[in-house]
Amino acid sequence: MVGVTLAAWCVPGLGHWLLGRRGKAVFFLLAIWGAFVTGWVLSDFRAVFWKTDRIATYAQLGMGVPTVPLLLEGEAFVEGFGLLELEADEKLYEPTGSSENLLPYYDVGVLYVSVAGLLNVVVILNAIALACWGAPAAAVAPPAAEEGRDDA
């Protein structure tokens, strides 16, 4: 169960993959990664920074491995790949300052990345439940209608 939990946290859908639920695994991988990458792009690759939005960062931690390097290195990690080039006086997010320095889709991007992290937490909990208790029993079919009986 611990292995499934860690796998599901590291890569969305991997816990379900290990449990043999391949369709669900692929769906979760595409949906969660899609939301994460979309949010990251909308925020101009600035959505996962501890300094800028601590509450959203907690939600983003549910995403697992992609958030860890960004949290550890922060802006320096992204600058190393040339994705983020800040001027000396530019701020990532300045809620009390003028709105001209804010990115137009920054908040939407943070929301997407946060939802991806929280959704992955739900998927992890589902993988844990499947590992512990297995798949739910099939629904009991209703009894067949008796011959010669007309309920109308």
Domain boundaries, the chain: 2-133
Say which amino acid occupies 140. V
- Cα distance from N-terminal residue to C-terminal residue, the chain: 52
pLDDT at 139: 43
pLDDT at 61: 85
Rounded to an integer, what distance in angstroms lies between the CA atom of residue 92 and that of residue 128? 37
Count Cβ atoms within 10 A of the Cβ of residue 27 and give its class: 0-12 exposed, 13-18 middle, 19 or more buried: middle
pLDDT in tens, 97-127: 444 456 678 888 889 999 999 999 999 999 9
For residue 52, how many C-alpha atoms fall within 13 Å in the half-sphere facing its CB? 22
Residue with token string 């769906």: 27
Cβ proximity of 79 and 72 under 8 Å? no
Low-confidence ranges of the chain (pLDDT < 70): 50-52, 69-103, 135-152
Chain mean position to CA 148 = 55
pLDDT at 67: 78
Which DSSP string corresponds to 45-86?
S-SS-TTT-HHHHHHHGGG-TTHHHHHHHTHHHHHHTTS---
Rounded to an integer, what distance in angstroms lies between the CA atom of residue 23 and that of residue 71? 31
pLDDT at 24: 92
| DSSP conformational letter for 144 | P
> Which of 127, 19, 118, 113 minimizes the C-alpha distance to 66?
113
pLDDT at 76: 55
For residue 69, how many C-alpha atoms fall within 13 Å in the half-sphere facing its CB? 9
